[in-house]
Amino acid sequence: MSADTGRKATRWALAGLCTLIGLWLILPLAVIVPISFSGEDSFAFPPQSWTLARYANLVTPQWTQALLNSLVVALLVAGLCAVLGTLAAFAIVRSHSRAMVVLRLLILAPQVVPIIIVGLGVYLVFLGWQLTGTVSGFVIAHAALSLPFVVIPVAASLQTFDRSLERASASLGAAPVATFFQVTFPIIRPAILSGTLLAFLGSFDELVLALFLQSPTFVTLPVQLYRRMTDTIDPTIAAVATIQLGFVIACVIVALVLERRRAAGTKAG
Amino acid sequence: MTAPSSSAAEVRFVSVAKRYGAGPTAIESLDLTIRRGEFITLLGPSGSGKTTALNLLAGFQEPTSGQILIDGEDVSRLPPHKRNIGLVFQHYALFPHMTVRENIAYPLKQRRVAKAEMARRVDDVLRMVSLEIFADRLPRQLSGGQQQRVAVARAIVFEPRLLLMDEPLGALDRKLRESVQLELKRIHRELGATVVFVTHDQEEALVMSDRIAVFNAGRIQQVGTAEELYDAPETQFVAQFLGESNCWVGEVSPNNDALCTVAGACREIAGQRTPRTPTSGLAAAIVRPERCHVVARTAAIEGWNSVPGRLREVVYLGSQRKMIVDLEIGGSAVVTCTPDVVLPSEAAVCVRFPISATRIVPAS
């Protein structure tokens, strides 16, 4: 057997293994999709009859308000993380201060510390500040959690950024602010956008902090899903999950495309 | 040198020094006047301070002390975007997200030049660097030489009074480099702007410059035309950095006339005193290889230095022949001559060179 056929066999085995892992990850999610169209009032699989009633059921204030809350919080988190995360990335990459090592760790900390502990801490503090059950409370907590999603790609993009471009811009007559908006920002924009998208998703999907911060009058979509799931066996949540799945997949694909474009941009630049 | 345009800048460095924290001094003390419309090259090995001098002039760094004057105005503390100086970077620094046309229009956009005027001026410089057909490409779609021309076009489109170039040919292959050198000379002629060119390549400096300032260890060693630097180097460093030199270091004789001798290793070498030759202590006697001859050992001749040695190697280089002679006083000497010169038959020879072509300079 030649080395070439050996290599071919390895490649086939690898492809097979990857397919299996992929199926293992995706199938549990994929089961949700047919159930959302199921005619029965249970999670029986495979469904015996089909209906779109679950989707019709969603048009109730309970679900629409939760969705709206989630969207508002996630959009504000995305905006806040885009600005703060980009500024923090500049500080981390461009400042020579030793304090930046600490800053980097602090920004990563919420992702490293067990989420339940973060949730408890945030809950106790926000209770005192009367921020539980408010949009600002959710936004602050989720933004702290999602900041690394922006800081990490933007810092990476700044690290490979050729600073002679900024010098060139200055020598050609552009003041520092003009240089930022015409040169630096357009080049790191894909990193900011992909990070912002992930920050949006990080908030949109987040359950643990939301469970701590929820109030009877303010509930996000994941909390509503969780409640329904634990209270009643209701296939309506399968419909919500299907919609959410489609939305998240779309977001991730956009983020991946942006990331690829960034990588291509730095290679060529 | 061409007639300088009226807008070309005159630059003066007045006792400029630059230190980085506690580290070594980048520039000890720099005094240099760059004339209106001249093409001056700052030449030196890496770490000699030439790039620091350029960065100070461009405004990317501030001098620790001293003044930089452009047309009499002190710009030492002026930020770079207010200096109106064109800059060509070593790796071109073209904006990767802009087309060639947008790159070149960039300085005009910052100056709020009207659309029609902007288009006309961009077209003009595109023609000047023969890149009209590439106007709508991105920089990464161009070759190195083409990118380099875009960088030049972008640096001259706003008609700066002063054009700085930081090793702009370093990334080009040798053949391309020669044609770009001529192109840059032509652009300098057409613009009439003052050009400050930084390089570590002595050949490039000789080809391009009206004058050359040789830097070493944070100081200017000598400023002059290529001929002055080659024929009348004032320091050992200049003699050895610019072209090849034979060099003997020794105690200088105290006599104060035009001639003096360097004595070391039991042999005296006589040469011309220069303005900077010390009256005592160490000095170097230097002579160019093409001013030396390899001859059979005979009695000394008036007006010539003779150093005995053994011919070790003869290298044929086509247009010339290069001989390496191991000297009896230690070290070796390089002698070049045309290939038709008859060499002595014996290995025991003398390297002979006129006292008038030998210079006694400060040792470094």
Is A57:A211 a contact under the CB 8 Å cutoff?
A: no
Closest chain B residue to the Cα of A173, Cα to Cα: B81
Q: What is the predicted pLDDT for the residue at A269?
A: 39
Whether residue A187 and residue B106 make contact (CB cut-off 8 A), yes or no, is: no
The answer to whether the beta carbons of residues A211 and A116 sit under 8 Å apart is no
Q: What's the pLDDT score for residue B6? A: 58
Q: Residue B323's beta-bridge partner residues?
A: B314, B335
Q: Do A173 and B158 touch (CB under 8 A)?
A: yes
Rounded to two decimals, the ipTM of the complex is 0.81
pLDDT at B99 over 90: yes
Q: Is residue B4 part of a domain?
A: no
Q: Is B79 on the interface with A (CB under 8 A)?
A: yes
Partners of A268 on chain B (C-beta within 8 Å) are 96, 138, 140
- How much is the mean pLDDT over chain B? 87
**Secondary structure (DSSP) of chain A:** --HHHHHHHHHHHHHHHHHHHHHHHHHHHHHHHHHHTBSSSS--SS-SSB-SHHHHHT-SHHHHHHHHHHHHHHHHHHHHHHHHHHHHHHHHHH---THHHHHHHHHHHHHHS-HHHHHHHHHHHHHHHT-TTSHHHHHHHHHHHHHHHHHHHHHHHHHT--THHHHHHHHTT--HHHHIIIIIHHHHHHHHHHHHHHHHHHHHT--HHHHHH-BTTB--HHHHHHHHHHH---THHHHHHHHHHHHHHHHHHHHHHHHHHHHHHHHH-
- Smallest Cβ–Cβ distance between A164 and the set B85, B91, B155 belongs to B91
B199 and B322 in a single domain? The answer is no
pLDDT at A145: 92
pTM, 2 dp: 0.78
Please say which residue of B198, B214, B231 terminates a domain. Answer: B231
Chain A residues lying within 8 Å of B97, measured CB to CB: 186-187, 265
Q: CA gyration radius for chain B?
A: 24
Confirm whether B307 is domain-assigned. Answer: yes
Q: Is residue B211 part of a domain?
A: yes
Bridge partners of residue B307, in order along the sequence? B351
- Look up the CATH number of the domain holding residue B250: 2.40.50.140
Based on the fold, state whether residues B218 and B279 are members of the same structural domain. Answer: no
Same domain, B47 and B154: yes
A164: nearest CA partner in chain B: B93
Half-sphere exposure of B211 (CA within 13 A, CB side): 16
**In the predicted model, what is the mean pLDDT of chain A?**
87
Determine the Cα–Cα distance for residues B279 and A6; give it in Å rounded to an integer: 80
Which domain CATH number covers B199? 3.40.50.300
Same domain, B56 and B175: yes
If asked whether residues B202 and B254 sit together in one domain, one would say: no
Residues of A in contact with B58 (CB under 8 A): 167, 171
Look at residue B195 and tell me if it is in a domain.
Answer: yes
Residue range A137-163: average pLDDT? 93
Residue B2 lies in a domain: no
Q: Identify the band that residue A72 occupies on the pLDDT scale cut at 50, 70 and 90.
A: very high
Residues of chain B contacting A96 with CB distance shorter than 8 Å: none
Asked if the model's pLDDT at residue B95 lies above 90, the reply is yes
Residues B22 and B133 grouped into a single domain: yes
Task: Name the DSSP class of B357.
Answer: G
pLDDT grade, residue B261 (50/70/90)? low
Residues of A in contact with B84 (CB under 8 A): 173
- Answer yes or no: is B3 within a domain: no
CB contact under 8 A, B106 and A174: yes
Angstrom distance (rounded) from CA B225 to CA B7: 23
**In this structure, is residue B1 part of a structural domain?**
no
B82, B85, B88, B120: which is closest to B101 by C-alpha? B120
Structural domain contains residue B284: yes
CB within 8 Å of chain B, chain A residues 186-205: 186-187
Distance of CA B35 to the CA centre of its chain: 16
How many Å lie between the alpha carbon of B102 and the closest alpha carbon of chain A?
11
* Residue type at B37 in one-letter notation: G
The verdict on B59 and B157 lying in the same domain is yes
Q: How many CB pairs under 8 A join A and B?
A: 71
Q: Which of B20, B62, B87, B113 to mutate to test the interface with A (most CBs of A within 10 A)?
A: B87
Range of the domain at B155: 11-231
CB proximity A164 to B under 8 Å: yes
* Domains in chain B, number: 2
**Do B250 and B176 lie in a common domain?**
no
Residues in A 121-140 with any Cβ partner in B closer than 8 A: none
Chain A interface test: which of B51, B81, B111, B112 (most A C-beta within 10 Å): B81
Could you say which of B188, B206, B231 is where a domain stops? Answer: B231
pLDDT (mean) for A126-141: 90
Q: Is A1 on the interface with B (CB under 8 A)?
A: no
- pLDDT greater than 70 at residue A87: yes
Reported as a single tens digit per residue, the pLDDT across B140-159 is 999 888 998 899 999 999 98
How confident is the model at residue B150, as a pLDDT? 93
The total number of structural domains in chain A stands at 1
Domain that holds residue A84: 58-268
Verify whether the Cβ–Cβ distance A169 to B155 is below 8 Å: no
Residue A205 belongs to domain with CATH number: 1.10.3720.10
Residues of A with Cβ-Cβ distance to B96 under 8 angstroms: 165, 187, 265, 268-269
Note the Cα A186 to chain centre separation in Å.
22
Residue ending a domain, among B182, B214, B231, is B231
* Residue whose structure tokens are 């699989």: A45
Considering the domain architecture, whether residues B223 and B358 belong to the same structural domain is answered as no
A171 touching B, CB under 8 A?
yes
Query: Residue A268: which of B60, B80, B140 has the nearest Cβ?
Result: B140
A50-70 residue pLDDT tens? 888 888 888 888 888 998 999
**Chain A interface mutation, best of B95, B140, B141, B148, highest count of A Cβ atoms under 10 Å:** B95
Q: With cut-offs at 50, 70 and 90, classify the pLDDT of residue B258.
A: low
Report CB contact under 8 Å: A162, B158.
Answer: no
Do B179 and B126 lie in one domain? The reply is yes
Answer whether residue A118 is part of any domain. yes
In a domain, residue A145? The reply is yes
Nearest to B154 among A172, A186, A268 (CB): A172
| Contact yes or no for A172 and B107 at CB 8 A | yes
- CA of A148, closest CA in chain B: separation in Å? 26
Looking at the domain assignment, is residue A163 inside a domain? yes
Would you mind telling me the total number of residues written for chain B in this entry?
364
Residue of A174, A178, A187 with shortest CB distance to B96: A187
| Same domain flag for B162 and B310 | no
Is there a contact between B80 and A165 if contact means CB atoms under 8 Å apart? no
pLDDT on residue A268: 45
- C-alpha triplet B230, B236, B242: angle, nearest 5°: 35
Q: Do B86 and A162 touch (CB under 8 A)?
A: no
